[in-house]
Structure 1
């Protein structure tokens, strides 16, 4: 610390000189003006140098954080000013504020900028709390301006030194913690430094390898290659990511990517080379695996049983498989010159465009649509098209992924079923016989509940519990009926018939409905009977009723087909139909 020692010596000499002058002048009356001024200037110089000495002492102390230095410095600064008891100080550094305990904003302040590497990072401010006689700069002396400027410079140098030390520590930590082997060598290949990663990658410790030739970790051919690279370094060139092989201590070959950089001395001369080596054995294995995976994906793409395509953001085909070509009847080269819109049915282009827009806008993650496309031969082909959006590493839309399934056969089957149902509905509505679809599931459940309760003789139970019969009659749901049913029962609207079956069965018909419940309890799924119903007008009519559970609904009876035909009054009302 030569600077600090010099300052201390100067301070000690000046203190002694001031003490001598004060002792001499104390016995002289009156004090000559020149002597008083000399004594005053010397005293101020002592305070200035004392402050700088103390700052140097603070700056040289080992610290874990620079904030400790700033706190101690701001407490020291007021002592260097003429009116020390009335002085206060503040440091403003990179947005952080450090102040002496008595600091206040006052009109009597002087400041100096703190500059680090040509950029202002803060200010030093010293002020007085009360007014004082004018001096060289307001109430401040010339020496105090020099002092505050010097303090600002020293704070800037302290910050730069701390930053440099931090950078060196970081650099050393980075080198030691790096996953890459970082080494240095002379221009003829003698190893100078060797980090932990180099020990791991090559198998040699720094103690074993430093001072030896780099040829230790490579064969003769690769050493000759290395000398050529070092010659390039000698000429001032660097080598980036040169992939080669090295030899581990145990003798095995390892794949590495090496970068070489020149090392310069203070005069800018190339004196060595820094080498960064990355073990790429895993990467080489990964690349081989990726090639296999890519081939597998490519094979899956090409041989998939559904059409697959990559589509640009404006709808052009970028990649297609053979199945898609077969669906649309085009070759792959033909499809790659076309767009989704060109193959879409004109009525569905707008919808497809809107769905693609919603994907791009992030309003949905995927969409599926059944739509018509036009084949090369002009025929309509129905497809189920499922589309999602592929993104790049920046999560930006890259292209659409489309899965296309030919559903023409299913659509044809659906159309055939629709046509069949339409014909059935037409026959149902226009039949001259009253036709019904009814739901007996609640009745079936009620009967099953009685069976679980132990009832076995249902005929007797129903005869003794007419309230159950009435409840069951009310639980029958009307699902559908035709126009002949309206006419048969003199109903003006469909709602009148939907109100309930109990309105159509008079008291005389209860025994027949009781028998019907008995047949249901016995497990019969079809039967016919003749009996009495009544129109909504109250008029009794004699009917023949055929009751049959619809196929597939025999267990639940939630769909029962009933046909009712008006007949002449039978010779005997006791005539009952038997199960078919």
Structure 2
């Protein structure tokens, strides 16, 4: 090979290498920028797309700080200083500004280089905005979940597959008495009702969920407490069950209150049923609603209104409903059953609505009790001179959904 031929080949290789490098840079999915003393002298298509410019040539010569977010300006200056000292700075995360004013997050690698014979800096920029925002959203979600976990009034407990506690919130500390440090890494303190709870936990780690299961457990003082719990399996990134979470409510006081209420209700029902006086439980809520509507329509003199509208009174007379009556009521009206009594109410009350009008006026005036004397009839149509009194118990004063009525037969006295 001649000397001339060797020289031609030697000159060709750098040219071909430069062309290949140029194509590689232009086709790179990462933004690549070259700057000298902070002035942009080259940027590829990916860089143009990243900052939102159509013609990158118009922006050649601009300062790199025109595209650097103020939050990252000092970081860029510090990295430039390292390069000037001949050092290569590590890859870092920086924030940039697009042409439309929006910002992006990027992973930046800066490398000292020679460009057309001059010392320059080649910057490779990977847009990580989506990943960054996703991480931020995940962090915010985790922080919110941690806050909910600690602030929850319910005990939240997580177990691994061996049954050891991995999470134990403040409510769990309050309900059971053990601190987080005392329980994490140890098995769940199950004693009372152990076999039942174990069955639910075993089924949960097999993928099942349970809600509102009531059972008994013990606290750190050995006292039995009533709890209601729900469970769900925990899974890893591959959707494999790696534990479970349980949410527990201490319902001990609720259970005590429920038993006391049941006992009180039982005592009340006994007194109600066995009273020698006729007692009724009635619901006036529909009547109360309609009277409130009349008030909204501007009616003030209800006695006058009901006197002038007897059809309204007869309609209202059909609107109250009976919740229950006692044995003495059946005896007074000679009914064999409650059903027979209810079927014969029009016969029992008759069609004289004067006393019922008085009741309506009392309701309209907001009275909490009412009394009157009137005539009722037995199912066999025998008249009864009665004294009637009703009161509204606590809890029903706003709606009148429950009204207690006492009826005393005065027929013998009237005679």
Report the TM-score when normalising by structure 2.
Answer: 0.60
Higher RCO structure (Cα 8 Å, ≥6 apart) = 2
SS in 1 for 2:282: strand
**Structure 2 spans left out of the alignment, 5+ residues:** 1-19, 35-41, 51-59, 61-79, 95-105, 111-121
Note the C-alpha offset of 1:438: 1.0
For the pair 1:535 / 2:383, whether they are aligned, the reply is no
Superposed, 1:165-180 pairs within 5 Å as 176-179=27-30
Preserved contact between residue 478 and residue 501 of structure 1 (Cα < 8 Å) = no
- SS of residue in 1 equivalent to 2:381: coil
Q: Which residue of 1 aligns with 2:409?
A: 566
Given that 2:29 and 2:46 are in contact with CA atoms closer than 8 Å, whether structure 1 keeps it comes out as no
Aligned to 2:66: none
User: CA-to-partner distance for each residue in 1:539-559, whole Å, 9 max, x for gaps?
Assistant: 222222111233343444332
> How far, CA to CA, are the matches of 1:498 and 1:351 in structure 2?
50
Offset at residue 469 of structure 1 (A): 3.9
Partners of 2:251 and 2:217 lie apart in 1 by: 11
Partner of 2:165: 317
* CA distance, structure 1, for counterparts of residue 251 and residue 160 of structure 2: 24
- Structure 1 window deviating more from structure 2 (433-442 vs 331-340): it is 331-340
Cα distance in structure 2, aligned partners of 1:461 and 1:410: 48
1:439 to 249, 259, 283: 283
Which residue does the alignment assign to 1:4? none
Query: Which residue number corresponds to residue 210 of structure 1?
Result: none
Is 1:545 the counterpart of 2:388? The answer is yes
What corresponds to 2:185 in structure 1? 336
**Paired residue secondary structure (1:474):** coil
Contact 1:473/1:502 (8 A) holds in 2: no
Among 144, 153, 156, which residue is 1:308 paired with?
A: 156
Give the aligned length. Answer: 336
Question: How has the CA–CA distance of structure 1 residues 410 and 220 changed in structure 2, closer, same or farther, with 3 Å as cutoff?
Answer: same
1:409 paired with 2:253, answer: yes
What is the Cα deviation at residue 172 of structure 1? 5.9
Q: 2:248 is paired with a residue of what secondary structure?
A: strand
1:340-489 alignment runs, 5 A limit: 342=190, 345-346=193-194, 348-349=196-197, 352-353=200-201, 356=204, 360=207, 367-447=211-291, 458-459=302-303, 462=306, 466-489=310-333
Per the TM alignment, residue 468 of structure 1 is displaced from its structure 2 partner at its CA by: 4.2
Larger radius of gyration: 1
Asked if the contact 1:532/1:541 (under 8 Å) is kept, the reply is: yes
Over 3 Å counting, the alpha-carbon distance change for 1:318 and 1:335 in structure 2 is closer
Instruction: Say if 1:383 and 1:405, in contact at 8 Å, map to a contact too.
Output: yes
Computed over aligned residues only, the root mean square deviation of the Cα atoms, in angstroms, reads 5.1
In structure 2, relative to structure 1, the CA distance for the partners of 1:505 and 1:196 (3 Å cut) is same
- Over 3 Å counting, the alpha-carbon distance change for 1:471 and 1:198 in structure 2 is closer
Distance verdict in 2 for CA 1:349–1:503, change over 3 Å: farther
- For 1:299 and 1:505, the matched residues in 2 are separated by 62
Tell me the CA shift for residue 337 of structure 1: 2.5
Kept in 1, the 8 Å contact 2:204–2:233? The answer is no
CA distance in 2, matches of 1:454, 1:245: 78
Q: Post-superposition shift, 1:517?
A: 3.3
Of 341, 346, 350, which residue of structure 2 is paired with 1:497? Answer: 341
Distance in 2 (CA, whole Å) between partners of 1:177 and 1:407 is: 63
CA distance, structure 2, for counterparts of residue 448 and residue 281 of structure 1: 63
Q: Which range is displaced more, 538-547 or 415-424?
A: 415-424
CA displacement at 1:478 relative to structure 2 = 0.7
Determine if contact 1:443/1:476 at 8 Å carries over to the other structure.
yes
Residues 62-461 of structure 1: pairs in structure 2 closer than 5 A: 176-179=27-30, 196=44, 218=83, 222=87, 244=90, 306-313=154-161, 315-330=163-178, 332-334=181-183, 336-339=185-188, 342=190, 345-346=193-194, 348-349=196-197, 352-353=200-201, 356=204, 360=207, 367-447=211-291, 458-459=302-303
483-492 or 563-572, larger mean C-alpha shift = 563-572
Structural mapping, 1:44-59, within 5 Å: none
Q: Does the Cα contact within 8 Å between 1:222 and 1:245 map onto a contact in 2? A: no
Q: 1:517 to 1:321 in 2, by over 3 A?
A: closer
- Supply the distance in 1 between the matched residues of 2:128 and 2:304 (Cα, whole angstroms): 89
Give the whole-Å Cα distance in 2 for the aligned partners of 1:357 and 1:177: 48
Q: Superposed, which structure 2 residues align to 1:25-40 within 5 Å? A: none
What's the offset of the Cα at 1:417? Answer: 2.8
* Residues in 2 aligned to 1:450 and 1:469: alpha-carbon distance in whole angstroms: 13
CA contact (8 A) 1:368 1:385 kept: yes
Cα distance change on mapping 1:198 and 1:458 into 2, 3 Å: closer
CA contact (8 A) 1:257 1:280 kept: no
* Change over 3 Å in CA distance of 1:373–1:501 after alignment to 2: same
Per the TM alignment, residue 436 of structure 1 is displaced from its structure 2 partner at its CA by: 0.9
SS at match of 1:416: helix
